[in-house]
Chain A
Amino acid sequence: MKSILKQAVAESRADFVEIRLEDTAKAGVSFSGKDLKKAQSTRDYGGYVRALINGSWGFVSFNNPDKLREFVRAAEERAVAAGKGSVRLAPVNPVEDSVELTIDPKDDPRNVSLEEKVALFRRMSNSILKSSPTVISSGANYVEDERRIFYANSEGTCIKMHGFWGAGGVSAIGRHENVVQSIYSGFGTRKSWNDIAQAEMTLDDLCRDVSDLVKAKPVEGGRYTVILDPRLSGVFIHEAFGHLSEADNVTDNQKLLNQMTLGTRFGQDHFSVLDGGTLTDERGSFKYDDEGVPSSMTYLIREGKLAGRLHTRDTAAAMGEQPTGNARTINYRFSPICRMSNTFIAPGPHSFEQMLEGISDGLYVVGGGSGNTSKGLFTFSAERARVIKNGKLGGWIRDLTLSGNVFETLKDIDMVGNDLQRSRSGGCGKSVGARMQYPLSVSMGSPHIRIQNVLIGGR
């Protein structure tokens, strides 16, 4: 395969050309209550050619690599038809490498049959459903991808990568009188089936929490001092700030670019945010990005000041900055674009107890985090919250949303906890033009954080 790719890029007359081939074995299991909604394994096989001629990209995706030469021509034809463009690529050193699986041979998830996977998720969904009369429905789902990638470009980079991602989630939906609430818990692995199977031990908490929540009061809207749990805080930093750090989101927007000038103060001294694919076996980890650039660890905010942003080779050249190894594609149907990997708020000095102290009237907001962000504005729904009165945690409340302007809200983070946690399931969606690339495997991490003056709305 390697020699075929090398030959094809060598024959191309483009200024730059890259070829990716990909073979992915996918499995998916999904239960809604007692009903099996999906249990299947499928194969996704294909590739793309991307050619740069005179500053314009031509791109063609395909399933049949036997006709690779035709597709190289088709990509070149498109690059030429696009006329003269302004794309340049930041220089990187060519790499030849082979990245092997890091799977645990004694607990290999690939050795667990689809039937056993179905059985585990059936047990979990049934067990949630039967846990309490309050629980009216349940959900349990699992997806896994084992992917082999061959990548070669005309600068001499030639990489083979083999990776595994497994992730699942369970949910409990409860009802009390007219109030319906749901609680979700996610889990995942890059190497070991036990990371998935242990979820069965956590179901009691989920069922207890949903039974409490349906009896909770709705929130009273207003401005509060809030503590966010690591799960919600991780989603918050990814959605509201992380996307602004993707260079392609600011290159064409002068006003946003001014707001995102490096060195600008974004938060207090104890507040730092990083992104990088170099962490071991996290959900957003990889050795090389989809342009063959080694992953790195980038400070986005360092001690309160904007310190960096995420780049593809194209955006790095356009802004005169260094590539960071953040060009990623969800699969061979799409061009790589600027994406996050493992994004997280660095742990700080504060304990949870210290955060509670001094809050006379606040909220401890937990979980959830579906919502919208757009160029600095955000609205999130949280799963639930607990009242904080005079430094003490009180009862549960429900149906709350958090909203605001990220530039203001980050400055209001006055305490950062010492208990960093990262998500192990879920994915990130991003569209460029008409096409949505979802789900990309990333992790979102944070310790507990405390924010002053957050606008809380009801639902």
Chain B
Amino acid sequence: MERILDLANKHSQKAEVYRIEKDASPACFLGGKLNALEGEQSVSTGLRVIVNGRLGFSSTTHPDEVDGLVQRALESASFGPETDMTFPSVCKNYGKGAFYDERVEGLSLKDIVLTGEEMVDTVKNSFPDVNIEAEVSREIHKISIMNSGGGCVSYEKTIHQSFLNVLLMLPSDRAELEDTRTFTNLTMAPKEMAEMAVWRFKHCGNVSPMQTKKMTVLFTSLGFRGLFVPLFYGLNGELAARKLSLLSDKIGERVIDPRICLSDDPTIPGLPGSCPADDEGVPAYRKPLIEKGVLKGFLYDLQTAYKSGKQSSGNGFKKSSLYTGFSIDAQPNPWPSNFVINPGDLPRDKLIESIEEGIIIDDLMGAGQGNNLNGEFSMSVALGYKIEHGEIIGRVKDVMIAGNVFEIMKNNFRSMSSDVYSEDTLFGRYSVPWIAFDDLTVSAT
């Protein structure tokens, strides 16, 4: 890293090197059986340079490449975006800190296989005929960031990830559930996921006929995926600066129901997006985004903050689009670490009991494909259940919901569960309760 930074410094005004070393061991189950034990032992390096007020970037996964990397970054700086951003001068080695769990590090290949088998068996015991894909992974990440301003941040992080996909083929159609939970520490998540899958499929036997009408809609933490994308667009600092966010210029205004608090929080131990610093070395901290319904701020990385005349909120993460995760060849963009919504006041079961007529939404087809800039969502319900008189009476199919996330959070909010769930989705990571809205139109198609 030092060699790369030294060489880059000779030809640029500012430079920054990012390096991640990964040691991962996933166990993959297909058709309910262990299919492969895999592994990744990688090291990847990214370089950003600022030359004559323009930003250049390149990356490599070759362990020894120096000259080529620097040359490509310098070439791209000749026409890169204009900037005079300052890399942070924080210098700290966090080592194996709050987001490193020795118990995760100590998991053997056998432990990982066993955890996966337990998940599969839990579901199979109740539903012998379902098709199950599962994955359990143990990962260790070592991240180092060094820049020409004297900044140097490094830390290690463990990842324990579990994934479950259950497909139930029914006489006329099928029900499918997909769930990924990731923690930096060892948790009971795999077991809970399998138990929740059983709970869900117990309600899938009957199909409840539906007619188009207004009713209560309860989004589970999985179903929240469909609301997350338009919500994130509204809180993206770059879109706010370009006046493309619906929330631009609304800081200090009440934008949603006062019972809802939404923050970006990378400090909570265990949550998958937690880290001591973002991918630009900016120290991570908790930011209230919407507090008691009032808009408090937006998410910024260094470049977005520079262009908008703001400070980075420590949300520069190397992810290039909604549909891709971390990537070494992505430049930092403003993304959430962990989106966190406060718990409500009713246990999950009581929340369901309180609903006279409504649906529970677990999974959606078309999440993220609405007009996200306008806060709009329009999705068909892939997995959902009908509630009548406080009881789940069966599964719903061929229904759609549409609306505007900010309008329903302002005008239709009903209540939230007192238990919160952390989900790791392609779009982003969040920890939220189940959230109910009144009087949403549910369309039968």
Decide: A61 near B110, CB < 8 A? Known: A43-B60, A252-B30, A255-B169. no
Contact between B33 and A434, CB atoms less than 8 A apart? no
Nearest A-chain residue to B79, judged by Cβ: A118
Shortest CB–CB separation between residue B380 and chain A, in angstroms? 7
A-B residue pairs in contact (CB < 8 Å), sample of 27: A23-B62, A35-B81, A38-B331, A39-B80, A40-B56, A41-B75, A42-B72, A42-B329, A43-B58, A43-B68, A45-B65, A56-B34, A56-B37, A57-B37, A61-B40, A62-B41, A81-B113, A82-B37, A85-B33, A85-B34, A115-B78, A252-B30, A253-B167, A377-B173, A379-B380, A432-B30, A433-B165
When distances are taken between beta carbons in the complex, the residues of chain A under 8 Å from B274 are: none
Question: 9 more A-B contacts (CB under 8 A) besides A42-B329, A253-B169?
Answer: A40-B56, A40-B329, A56-B34, A63-B62, A78-B38, A85-B33, A252-B30, A255-B169, A434-B161
Contact between A78 and B37, CB atoms less than 8 A apart? yes
Does B69 belong to the interface (CB within 8 Å)? Answer: yes
Contact between A433 and B41, CB atoms less than 8 A apart? no
Decide: A74 near B39, CB < 8 A? Known: A43-B65, A85-B33. yes
Contact between B365 and A43, CB atoms less than 8 A apart? no
Does B43 belong to the interface (CB within 8 Å)? Answer: yes
As a 0/1 sequence over residues 25 to 52 of chain A, the CB contacts with chain B under 8 angstroms (1 = contact) are 0101000000110111111111000000
Provide the bound-state CA to CA distance between A217 and B180, in Å: 41
Does B63 belong to the interface (CB within 8 Å)? Answer: yes
When distances are taken between beta carbons in the complex, the residues of chain A under 8 Å from B324 are: 438
Interface centre among A42, A45, A251, A375 (most CB of B within 10 A): A42
Decide: A60 near B167, CB < 8 A? Known: A81-B113, A372-B366. no
Contact between A43 and B180, CB atoms less than 8 A apart? no
When distances are taken between beta carbons in the complex, the residues of chain B under 8 Å from A42 are: 58-60, 72, 328-329
Contact between A64 and B63, CB atoms less than 8 A apart? yes
When distances are taken between beta carbons in the complex, the residues of chain A under 8 Å from B34 are: 56, 82-83, 85
Provide the bound-state CA to CA distance between A129 and B173, in Å: 46
Interface residues of B in 271-327 (CB under 8 A from A): 320, 323-324
Nearest B-chain residue to A39, judged by Cβ: B76
When distances are taken between beta carbons in the complex, the residues of chain B under 8 Å from A77 are: 109
Provide the bound-state CA to CA distance between A87 and B34, in Å: 11
Q: Taking beta carbons and an 8 Å cutoff, which residues of A are in contact with B?
A: 23, 26, 28, 35-36, 38-46, 56-64, 66, 71, 74-75, 77-79, 81-83, 85-87, 114-115, 118, 180, 248, 251-253, 255-256, 333, 335, 370-372, 374-375, 377, 379, 381, 432-436, 438, 457, 459
Provide the bound-state CA to CA distance between A381 and B27, in Å: 36
When distances are taken between beta carbons in the complex, the residues of chain B under 8 Å from A56 are: 34, 36-37
Decide: A333 near B167, CB < 8 A? Known: A64-B63, A85-B34, A433-B28. no
Provide the bound-state CA to CA distance between A375 and B382, in Å: 13
When distances are taken between beta carbons in the complex, the residues of chain A under 8 Å from B369 are: 370, 381
Contact between B36 and A58, CB atoms less than 8 A apart? yes
Provide the bound-state CA to CA distance between A63 and B161, in Å: 23
Contact between B38 and A434, CB atoms less than 8 A apart? no
When distances are taken between beta carbons in the complex, the residues of chain B under 8 Å from A432 are: 28, 30, 133
Interface centre among A46, A58, A83, A114 (most CB of B within 10 A): A46
When distances are taken between beta carbons in the complex, the residues of chain A under 8 Å from B63 are: 63-64, 66
Shortest CB–CB separation between residue B58 and chain A, in angstroms? 5
Shortest CB–CB separation between residue A408 and chain B, in angstroms? 13
Does B350 belong to the interface (CB within 8 Å)? Answer: no
What are the nearest 6 A-B pairs in CB distance?
A252-B31, A434-B163, A78-B37, A57-B36, A45-B62, A81-B109
When distances are taken between beta carbons in the complex, the residues of chain B under 8 Å from A372 are: 365-366
Does B413 belong to the interface (CB within 8 Å)? Answer: no
When distances are taken between beta carbons in the complex, the residues of chain A under 8 Å from B270 are: none
Does B378 belong to the interface (CB within 8 Å)? Answer: yes
Provide the bound-state CA to CA distance between A57 and B39, in Å: 11
Shortest CB–CB separation between residue B158 and chain A, in angstroms? 17
Contact between B38 and A335, CB atoms less than 8 A apart? yes
Decide: A43 near B59, CB < 8 A? Known: A38-B331, A251-B31, A436-B426. yes
When distances are taken between beta carbons in the complex, the residues of chain A under 8 Å from B161 are: 434
Contact between A64 and B43, CB atoms less than 8 A apart? yes
Shortest CB–CB separation between residue A220 and chain B, in angstroms? 14
Contact between A75 and B169, CB atoms less than 8 A apart? no
Contact between B61 and A434, CB atoms less than 8 A apart? no
Does B212 belong to the interface (CB within 8 Å)? Answer: no
Picked from B32, B61, B163, B174, the residue with its CB within 8 Å of the CB of A44 is: B61
Q: Taking beta carbons and an 8 Å cutoff, which residues of B are in contact with A?
A: 25-44, 56-63, 65, 68-69, 72, 75-76, 78-81, 109-110, 113, 131, 133-135, 137, 161, 163, 165, 167, 169, 173-174, 176, 180, 320, 323-324, 328-329, 331, 365-366, 369, 371, 378, 380, 382, 426, 445
Provide the bound-state CA to CA distance between A61 and B25, in Å: 10
Q: Is the contact region of chain B dominated by helix, strand, or loop, or is it mixed?
A: strand
Contact between A45 and B174, CB atoms less than 8 A apart? no
When distances are taken between beta carbons in the complex, the residues of chain B under 8 Å from A59 are: 36-39
Decide: A40 near B36, CB < 8 A? Known: A78-B109, A252-B30, A432-B28. no
When distances are taken between beta carbons in the complex, the residues of chain B under 8 Å from A43 are: 58-62, 65, 68-69, 72
Provide the bound-state CA to CA distance between A71 and B29, in Å: 22
Shortest CB–CB separation between residue B371 and chain A, in angstroms? 7
Decide: A63 near B42, CB < 8 A? Known: A36-B80, A81-B37. yes
When distances are taken between beta carbons in the complex, the residues of chain A under 8 Å from B43 are: 63-64
Shortest CB–CB separation between residue B428 and chain A, in angstroms? 15
Provide the bound-state CA to CA distance between A46 and B61, in Å: 7
When distances are taken between beta carbons in the complex, the residues of chain A under 8 Å from B65 are: 43, 45
Decide: A86 near B59, CB < 8 A? Known: A61-B41, A64-B43, A433-B133. no
Provide the bound-state CA to CA distance between A436 and B247, in Å: 33
When distances are taken between beta carbons in the complex, the residues of chain B under 8 Å from A79 are: 37
Provide the bound-state CA to CA distance between A255 and B170, in Å: 9
Provide the bound-state CA to CA distance between A432 and B149, in Å: 43
When distances are taken between beta carbons in the complex, the residues of chain B under 8 Å from A75 are: 39
Provide the bound-state CA to CA distance between A379 and B397, in Å: 14
Shortest CB–CB separation between residue B329 and chain A, in angstroms? 4
Provide the bound-state CA to CA distance between A248 and B35, in Å: 12
When distances are taken between beta carbons in the complex, the residues of chain A under 8 Å from B378 are: 459
Contact between A81 and B365, CB atoms less than 8 A apart? no
Nearest B-chain residue to A30, judged by Cβ: B320
Shortest CB–CB separation between residue B225 and chain A, in angstroms? 14
Contact between A40 and B40, CB atoms less than 8 A apart? no
Provide the bound-state CA to CA distance between A368 and B332, in Å: 29
When distances are taken between beta carbons in the complex, the residues of chain B under 8 Å from A74 are: 39, 41
Contact between A40 and B58, CB atoms less than 8 A apart? yes
Contact between B76 and A114, CB atoms less than 8 A apart? yes
When distances are taken between beta carbons in the complex, the residues of chain A under 8 Å from B25 are: 78
Contact between A78 and B39, CB atoms less than 8 A apart? yes
When distances are taken between beta carbons in the complex, the residues of chain B under 8 Å from A62 are: 40-42
When distances are taken between beta carbons in the complex, the residues of chain A under 8 Å from B57 are: 40
Shortest CB–CB separation between residue A173 and chain B, in angstroms? 11
Nearest B-chain residue to A60, judged by Cβ: B39
Nearest A-chain residue to B71, judged by Cβ: A41
Contact between A115 and B445, CB atoms less than 8 A apart? no
Nearest A-chain residue to B174, judged by Cβ: A375
Provide the bound-state CA to CA distance between A107 and B76, in Å: 23
When distances are taken between beta carbons in the complex, the residues of chain A under 8 Å from B35 are: 57, 85, 87, 433
Nearest B-chain residue to A332, judged by Cβ: B61
Shortest CB–CB separation between residue B189 and chain A, in angstroms? 13
Decide: A433 near B134, CB < 8 A? Known: A41-B76, A64-B63, A82-B34. yes
Shortest CB–CB separation between residue A243 and chain B, in angstroms? 14
Shortest CB–CB separation between residue A76 and chain B, in angstroms? 11
